[in-house]
Amino acid sequence: MKPFDNILFPVDFSLSCTAIAPYVKRAAEIFGAKVTLAHVFDLGSSGGLELYVRPLPEVLADHHTVARNQLSSFLVQEFPMAEHSRIVLSGDVATRLIELARTGGFDLIIMPTHASHFRSALLGSTTAKVLNGADCPVLTAQHAEMMVPRSLRHREWVCGIDLSPRSEWVLRFASNTAAAAGATLTAIHAIPIREVDGPIQLDLDQKANSSVASAVHLELDRLQKASGPGTQVRLALGPIREVLLEAARRRDADVLLIGREPQNTRSGRLRDFTYKIVRDSPCPVVSI
């Protein structure tokens, strides 16, 4: 069974969307998935001056026509209209995208981020809101406006796992998706340390920190067996975020996968962790 059948590609006609288009196209080819381009325009973000002099239905119709024409001529070589659907919606951008993904049967959203390296900008972005509310996996790529995302070579994927009840599901999903993409998957579980600047130890030996590591290894062995053959599960020591980023760098990973809890199950701490990973990752991130 294919992990992804329908990919939602939100577009705002920016340089970032143009840059990520080859990545979306390649992902669709690898997974045999269909791509739908969606653009959402928000009258509220334009100041709304024209609403004082013209009826709302008339303004909406005009904006919809402009958006439809613009979308019809955007990335037509990469995504021919005869093969790829295009949808125009109005309203709050993130809210409408989340609704569309949920009701339209999409199983993956691919979008760039537009934020700078400042955390406050990322937290206020449309991408951050989609990460916060989407039910399906979300793939985000580097947020530099002029950066072309690296090609989908799919040699090496890294997956971060904790030991929560969802860990087995996340690892199974990552294993199946990596296999479909022809990638080698390495799962990393980090034992946190208090010292932020302490040394990061990847591939921690089972004998090290025996009272902790040995017990964790038993659970990791179980997860590895449950995920099926072909997945390497490794134990590391260090701050979780830094461990995952360092593992992605050292392995020159093509994709980093992380679990994303349902929106209402925890406080904002976990979502904050997701944002930081997306912001600083050296490769695209799939949050599940």
Express each pLDDT in 46-102 by its tens digit: 555 565 567 777 778 888 899 999 999 999 999 999 999 999 999 999 999 999 999
Say yes or no: do domains 6-141 and 156-287 share a fold: yes
156-287: CATH number: 3.40.50.620
Q: How confident is the model at residue 185 (pLDDT cuts 50, 70, 90)?
A: very high
Helix (H, G, I), strand (E, B) or coil at 144: coil
What per-residue string of b and e applies to 178-206 under the rule 16 or more CB within 10 Å gives b?
A: bbbbebbbbbbbbbebeeeeeebbbebee
CATH fold of 6-141: Rossmann fold (3.40.50)
Q: List pLDDT tens digits, range 133-174.
A: 999 999 987 654 555 556 666 689 999 988 888 888 888 899
CB 42 within 8 A of CB 90: yes
Amino acid (one-letter) located at 86: R
CA atoms of 38 and 242, how far apart (whole Å) = 34
**Domain spans of the chain, in order of start:** 6-141, 156-287
pLDDT the model gives residue 168: 86
Arithmetic mean of pLDDT over the chain: 81
CA atoms of 206 and 210, how far apart (whole Å) = 7
pLDDT the model gives residue 266: 46
